[in-house]
Amino acid sequence: MLFLGIVNFGVVLAQQLSISNSARRAARFAVVDVEGRACGDIEAEARNAAITIGMGPSDPTYALSGATGPCERPCADSTDTTDLKVTLTYHSNFVVPMPIPGFPAGVDIAGEGVFRCEYN
């Protein structure tokens, strides 16, 4: 049972690291371009960067918030203190179900990337 717990923990940890890194990467991707990035490009960046063990690009739930501009340029018309936030969430089911009554079948994980809008 200890071995099963270690395997499940390792997979969830890999997914958590991937979710966190991809959210941060997508937020940075959105704010460093002078021309601005479209929301679809930002979402594609977040989803493609999140691919890891047991998780494909369509799995995490994506959300963009904090920026004031239209979806074509999220940081348009922003001030120097405007942050752009990308959030990814995912419900990770354990690879190996734990044979303990009442033990959850998985856990919810989330990652958030926040960057200041550099260009408006």
Give the closest residue to 47 by CA, choosing from 95, 114, 111, 99: 111
Q: What's the number of domains the chain is made of?
A: 1
- What pLDDT, in 10s, does the model give residues 61-96? 888 887 766 677 777 777 777 888 889 999 998 888
Residues of the domain holding 51: 2-116
d(C-alpha 19, C-alpha 79), whole Å: 28
Q: What are the residue ranges in the chain where pLDDT is below 50?
A: none
Is 85 strand, coil or helix?
Answer: strand
Backbone angles phi and psi of 88, in degrees to 5: -120, 135
d(CA 86, CA 66): 9
